[in-house]
Structure 1
Amino acid sequence: MKTKYDELCLNLKGITEGESHAVPNMANAAALLWHALEDINWAGFYTMEAEGYLLLGPFQGKPACIRIPVGKGVCGTAVAENKTQLIKDVHQFAGHIACDAASNSEIVVPLHDADGRIVGVLDIDSPSVGRFTEEDRTGLEEFARILEAACEWN
């Protein structure tokens, strides 16, 4: 089944309308993704901390790594490069952090505040190798832009 990113983005706009606090918006965004995307085993967020690491935020799925240093793993690399990471096989990714041994592919999208600073990442994992496509990249980047615009990032 093909993901309907237009519909997913519309749902995110509706659920964040009138709410600027990042935590509940990320929590609802994670729930939307969890229920809309097939063949995933984790969907959530890490927030950027001043000390140079990502801190676990709202998510759906199994317990996860709590702190990820910038530049480490797929999430830390997304921050270091300020670029979406679409990883078809995480076991081929140098420095992959295995929070869940069942994860085999991953997509991570950096999140920015109004000044363009990275405030966190959207992270989605799948138990299937090659789960994420360019369509997913485009759809999830648009989803992230909606969330960025809705939130006041502290």
Structure 2
Amino acid sequence: MANKNKSGRYQRIFRQVEELIQATESPWSRMSTIAALLHHKIPDYFWTGFYFLDEEDNLIVGPYQGPVACLKLKKDTGVCWAGINTGKSVVVGDVEEFPGHIACSSLSKSEIVVPVRDKSGKVMAVLDVDSRELNTFDETDRVELEKIVDLIYQ
């Protein structure tokens, strides 16, 4: 998908999310809506969901779309933990080349992780998106997904 088309698609999804989430301030419900919209509106998305930090600082699966996920991710390992620990989005063109990658599905080839911050700026979760294709995600995905996840705690 060309970046102009990709950006336009994300902008339409952003407006749809913005409208739908007004029904509740529940982060859980907002994450569920975001996961469903992204997963069903962007063809390259194989697994789309959230991992959140629980009270014991475990990274636990939250709302998602796609095949069965890892329920708990080993601390400080993999792309999701990289997003939590750095507080920055992580784009991985080939998951096999990412040190410590956690393979919940062998079909996953590329991945993007975007931190989700609460109103105080604390990282509470990450949006995790996997693709069956190599090099699916780029700067456009990072920028647009960061805008979308910012809606969760607005």
Residue-by-residue CA offset, 1:90-144 (whole Å, 9 max, x unaligned):
0000000000100000000000111111110100000000000111111101111
Q: Secondary structure at the match of 1:147?
A: coil
Kept in 1, the 8 Å contact 2:53–2:60? The answer is yes
- TM-score, structure 2 length as denominator? 0.93
Q: 1:20 aligns to what?
A: 25
Kept in 2, the 8 Å contact 1:105–1:126? The answer is yes
Q: Secondary structure at the match of 1:17?
A: helix
Q: Which amino acid aligns with 2:13?
A: L
Q: Which amino acid aligns with 2:100?
A: G
Q: Secondary structure at the match of 1:74?
A: helix
Gaps of 5+ in 2: none
- Aligned partners of 1:20 and 1:69: how far apart in 2? 30
Question: Which runs of structure 1 show a deviation greater than 3 angstroms over 4 or more consecutive aligned residues?
Answer: none
Q: Which amino acid aligns with 2:124?
A: V
Q: 1:115 aligns to what?
A: 120
Q: Secondary structure at the match of 1:146?
A: coil
Residue-by-residue CA offset, 1:61-92 (whole Å, 9 max, x unaligned):
00000111442110011001111000000000
Residue-by-residue CA offset, 1:12-54 (whole Å, 9 max, x unaligned):
1011013111222111111100111121210011111121221
Q: 1:59 aligns to what?
A: 64
Q: 1:6 aligns to what?
A: 11
Kept in 2, the 8 Å contact 1:52–1:69? The answer is no
- Aligned partners of 1:69 and 1:52: how far apart in 2? 11
- Aligned partners of 1:38 and 1:95: how far apart in 2? 27
Q: 2:153 aligns to what?
A: 148
Residues 71 and 16 of structure 1, relative CA distance in 2, 3 Å threshold: same
CA RMSD of aligned residues (A): 1.1
Q: Percent identity?
A: 36
- TM-score, structure 1 length as denominator? 0.93
Aligned residues: 149
- One of 81, 88, 92 as aligned partner of 2:97: 92
Alignment of structure 1 residues 45-84 onto 2, 5 Å: 45-84=50-89
Kept in 1, the 8 Å contact 2:39–2:47? The answer is yes
Q: 1:152 aligns to what?
A: none
